[in-house]
A = this chain, B = another copy of it.
Amino acid sequence: MEYKKFLMFGDSITEFSFNTRPQPEENLGDQFALGAALTNDYSRKLTVLQRGFAGYNSKWGLKILPKILEYEQNIVIGFIFFGSNDSCAGGPQRVPEDEYESNLHKSVQMFKARSIKPILVGPAFYDSSKWEPSRQDEVRQGYARSNEGFIRYGKITASVASKENVPFLDLRAAMEREAGKNWTDFLVDGLHFNGKGYEVFYKELLQAISDHYPEYHPYNMAITPPYWKYVSEDESKLD
């Protein structure tokens, strides 16, 4: 029984998207998780592949992507979400703007070469007051993120999406629309998303799928194997 696949491809924000307890020390209970919600929506429709790699940038992603695509047949749709590491002003994770742009183009083209519908996602918000206190050494060496960096790399992402004629999820705009100046509500530690942040991501993603690739919106897909009542009437439906 063969299911087509949805590829979640990106850095830590993608890797952590099945974690319902991102803040265990704060005893907040369980939270919304993007990957869990997608898997639930696509149950018996698509296999959802979590391929997020904490700390990775678009350069390392590009080295991995061909290996993922070579092994995983039948991916039909997916997102590419880097930038939060690439946009560091310095340090080992930094990828310069022109290289980030080129990496995204190449990644999208790899998707297209395999008839995978791409969705691009760019960095959202960054709260240095939460992320940096424990990382003062790095910051002093110029190894630091910034909202300015996130905005610049977000614009590059949007521009690549436009040139490649594929949808772009503007999470920054979506979070601003929903919470205005209270965008820190969407973050766990200044960088990663909490359940509220992932829920904004989820809604934007489903909307983009509905707008651009409606054939892959969960509501438009039939389940395999069929509903048990049909099976109970005619078990040959499972042959």
Q: Which residues of A contact B (CB under 8 A)?
A: 1-2, 15-16, 18-20, 29-33, 35-37, 39-40, 43-44, 47, 49-50, 52-56, 60, 63-64, 67-68, 70-71, 85, 92-93, 195, 225, 227-229, 231-233, 235, 238-239
Q: Indicate how many identical chains form the complex.
A: 2
Q: Once bound together, how far apart are the Cα atoms of A221 and B6, in whole Å? A: 25
Is B15 a contact partner of A36 (Cβ separation < 8 A)?
no
Q: Considering the complex of A and B, which 9 residue pairs feature the smallest CB-CB distances, nearest first?
A: A55-B228, A36-B36, A92-B232, A1-B67, A63-B238, A18-B39, A18-B40, A30-B30, A18-B36
Say which residue of B20, B49, B92, B228 sits within 8 Å of A20 (CB atoms): B20
| Complex interface: chain B residues within 8 A of A16 (CB) | 40
Q: Which residue of the partner chain B has the closest CB to A66?
A: B1
Q: Once bound together, how far apart are the Cα atoms of A64 and B226, in whole Å? A: 11
Is B60 a contact partner of A228 (Cβ separation < 8 A)?
yes
Q: List 28 A-B contacts (CB under 8 A).
A: A1-B67, A1-B68, A1-B70, A1-B71, A15-B44, A18-B36, A18-B40, A20-B20, A20-B30, A20-B36, A20-B40, A30-B31, A30-B33, A36-B36, A36-B39, A43-B52, A55-B229, A56-B228, A60-B225, A60-B228, A60-B231, A63-B235, A63-B238, A64-B225, A85-B228, A92-B229, A92-B232, A92-B233
